[in-house]
Structure 1
Amino acid sequence: MMSTADRIELRHVRAFLVLAQELNFRSAAERLFITEPPLSRTIAQMESALGTRLFNRTSRSCELTEAGARLIEPAARIVQILKEEFRPLQEATASGPLRLGVLIYNNPLKTEKLRADLQRTIGRKVEVRLGRTHELERSMKRGELDFAILQRPLHSTAGGVTRLATAEWVIGLQSIHPLAAKKALQLSDLFAFDRLLFQNRRDNPPLFDHVHGEIMRRTGRSPTYTAIKELFEGQALIAAGAACALVPETAKGFSQDEITILPLVPEDQIRTDICLMSHPQVSDACLMETIRRTARDFLVQDCGLAA
């Protein structure tokens, strides 16, 4: 018959500590890069092994029981001891670069700051690959990336996915166009231009359908799209006043003399979540939490996105 010690694994202890900090299954699951059902099962297994409840659950949150509160200190001590014992091995084996995919819409100067911050924090070389969501997803599937900062909706959720921040969509237009004098635009203003520059639907159907659906729902009309692969690939069309572009707000740093970027009015805002995907073979929970925290701070503090 297995003893209590044999039935409790490190994953149980780590899940318990994160849930004890968050007191919310959804938030804890995101930090652990899993979904809520596996987290709930892990906690239930630990409670069964110990023969006592560690949390009192409600529909939206949970609270520590007396037994759970007593367990925090020894559980944290166990994790710390393991960290200290395994650190020399991790330092010896984690010599290769960490490969991070970042959305091409991020300002290159800010992306370089993210790379430098990560490299300094984890003490390991960080290589950044820029791309659009579907391109970075493919690189992840091929095993060419360890982590990627992507834009929902995604083609797949293979590997761990956790939300980092929320981005609003903005419009890039000719700086001398009459609409450029406004502080914010309506979605109906898109139809003042012959074309709307946007990603090709075949590249990322979920994202295209989400944004197009919002435009149709709020205006009842469909724009004439011209597909672009990179930000302001059609900048000559924009500068000539023949087209506008719809891009995430992380593109604000790309403004230039001929092109102005304006937000949408509150009632017409389109939002998408920016998330972090980890490769299925990445199992270092401490590394994942460090990447998640650093990427979130970068998006919120440096790029101005909503947490």
Structure 2
Amino acid sequence: MELRHLKVFLTVADELHFGRAAEVLRMAQPAVSRTVRQFEQELGYDLFNRNTRSVELTPAGEALLEPAQRMVALEQETIRTVRLAAQGISGAVRIAYAGIATIPQMSALARAVRREMPDISLELKSQTYASQGIELLLSNEADLVFGRWDYLPDEVSTHVVSEDALVVAMPTSHPLAEAESVSIAELLDEDWVTLAFSTNSVLPSRLAELFRAQGMNPRIAQEVPDTLSAMSLVMAEVGLSLTLASVRDNFRGSHIAYVPLSDAVARVDLQLAWRGGKESPALTTVIRIAQGLSEPAAEDETQPERG
């Protein structure tokens, strides 16, 4: 059974006239009649009753109508799907993200993709740490990753989604809770709540870097698995926590204050990462939409190192 047989059959069934069907198909009438006869021979049943005055469907022809329509529609949908995928208008893109500070930007991207390219589906993967997202990227389990990194492999390309800054989260009862800014030198004797240093996360790295500049190591009261846990322990007065301005904007508690850090430190911008040279048309489209949502920060020595 060939699709051309089905298309000719459906046209004749619609017109119930071989001459008119031939005009619609832009075929010679004998060719239409021959195609229908070949199809009937293949099936072993007549599909039309013909005489000099009329053409009508046989019971076999009536039974074939619906499945023939489905098969032709499936072919058309298949062609459309392939065409849209090749043009970057459809397809699936897997996005990994980590942390509450990432959600607004990821949501903005999802809304923009849905608005501009509704045939592209986004598969979201929530991760605890940005380093896990890069592992998914390199193992081809994710196409795009939101995160903050100090070091990235050479094959990974990035785009700055939003600039960010460091703040110190502290209980509202702390003497510096209402300060306009604070330096690490003022906080050397404090206890700290932080993500595990073994996670290769940016925040523990920045905390260690700031303390090294003072010739000291931070006094860690507790390591936690995620930012929400850290902020909860800050409100419980277990210690201070080095975090992001974007966390401040997305997590408000009645017993927590966020004070800007005055120390100069490497940037902690949120970035979107992907494997350069491995972009599918759909991925290229999503990257283009993401780049249109934000202006990348100027390149300088504080960008993630390669290698």
For residues 63-78 of structure 1, what are the structure 2 equivalents within 5 Å? none
Pair 214,118 (structure 1): closer, same or farther in 2 beyond 3 Å: farther
Secondary structure of 1:251's aligned partner? helix
Which of these residues, 91, 103, 111, is aligned with residue 84 of structure 2? 91
Instruction: State the partner residue of 1:202.
Output: 198
Instruction: State the partner residue of 2:274.
Output: 278
Secondary structure of 1:202's aligned partner? helix
Query: Could you tell me whether the CA contact under 8 Å between 1:107 and 1:254 is conserved in 2?
Result: no
Secondary structure of 1:256's aligned partner? coil
Query: Could you tell me whether the CA contact under 8 Å between 1:186 and 1:268 is conserved in 2?
Result: no
Secondary structure of 2:136's aligned partner? helix
Instruction: State the partner residue of 1:114.
Output: 109
- Superposed CA offset, 1:226-257 (max 9, x none): 32221131444312323011122221221211
Query: Could you tell me whether the CA contact under 8 Å between 2:97 and 2:125 is conserved in 1?
Result: yes
Instruction: State the partner residue of 1:247.
Output: 243
Query: Could you tell me whether the CA contact under 8 Å between 2:159 and 2:291 is conserved in 1?
Result: no
Which of these residues, 191, 200, 214, is aligned with residue 188 of structure 2? 191
- Superposed CA offset, 1:129-152 (max 9, x none): 333211111221232211112212
- Which moved further from structure 2: 131-140 or 119-128? 119-128
TM-score normalised by structure 1 residue count = 0.58
Give the superposition deviation at 1:155.
4.8
Q: Distance in 1 between matches of 2:185 and 2:160?
A: 30
Instruction: State the partner residue of 1:151.
Output: 148
Instruction: State the partner residue of 2:260.
Output: 263
* Counterpart code for 2:148: Q
Pair 239,114 (structure 1): closer, same or farther in 2 beyond 3 Å: same
Higher Rg of the two aligned structures: 2
* Counterpart code for 2:176: L
Identity of aligned residues (%): 16
Pair 202,189 (structure 1): closer, same or farther in 2 beyond 3 Å: same
RMSD of aligned Cα (Å): 3.2
* Counterpart code for 1:174: P
Give the superposition deviation at 1:208.
4.1
Q: Distance in 1 between matches of 2:195 and 2:124?
A: 22
Q: Distance in 2 between matches of 1:90 and 1:244?
A: 54
Q: Distance in 2 between matches of 1:130 and 1:216?
A: 32
Secondary structure of 1:290's aligned partner? helix
Query: Could you tell me whether the CA contact under 8 Å between 1:172 and 1:259 is conserved in 2?
Result: yes
For residues 14-29 of structure 1, what are the structure 2 equivalents within 5 Å? none
Instruction: State the partner residue of 1:293.
Output: 291
Q: Distance in 2 between matches of 1:286 and 1:156?
A: 20
Query: Could you tell me whether the CA contact under 8 Å between 1:115 and 1:127 is conserved in 2?
Result: no
Q: Distance in 2 between matches of 1:174 and 1:140?
A: 37
Query: Could you tell me whether the CA contact under 8 Å between 1:100 and 1:145 is conserved in 2?
Result: yes
Query: Could you tell me whether the CA contact under 8 Å between 2:195 and 2:227 is conserved in 1?
Result: no
* Counterpart code for 1:276: L
Gaps of 5+ in 1: 1-86, 301-307
- Superposed CA offset, 1:99-143 (max 9, x none): 222331416455433321232233222233333211111221232
Q: Does 1:104 align with 2:99?
A: yes
Instruction: State the partner residue of 1:51.
Output: none
Instruction: State the partner residue of 1:31.
Output: none
Q: Distance in 2 between matches of 1:289 and 1:263?
A: 32
Give the superposition deviation at 1:169.
1.3
Secondary structure of 2:109's aligned partner? helix
* Counterpart code for 1:180: A
Q: Does 1:233 align with 2:229?
A: yes
Q: Distance in 2 between matches of 1:163 and 1:233?
A: 27
Secondary structure of 1:198's aligned partner? strand
Gaps of 5+ in 2: 1-79, 298-307
Q: Does 1:133 align with 2:126?
A: no
* Counterpart code for 2:143: D
Q: Distance in 1 between matches of 2:123 and 2:243?
A: 25
Q: Distance in 1 between matches of 2:90 and 2:122?
A: 11
Q: Distance in 2 between matches of 1:263 and 1:108?
A: 22
Query: Could you tell me whether the CA contact under 8 Å between 1:98 and 1:126 is conserved in 2?
Result: yes
Pairs aligned (count): 211
Q: Distance in 1 between matches of 2:226 and 2:292?
A: 26
Give the superposition deviation at 1:154.
2.9
Pair 215,122 (structure 1): closer, same or farther in 2 beyond 3 Å: farther
Q: Distance in 1 between matches of 2:224 and 2:293?
A: 26
Q: Distance in 2 between matches of 1:107 and 1:161?
A: 15
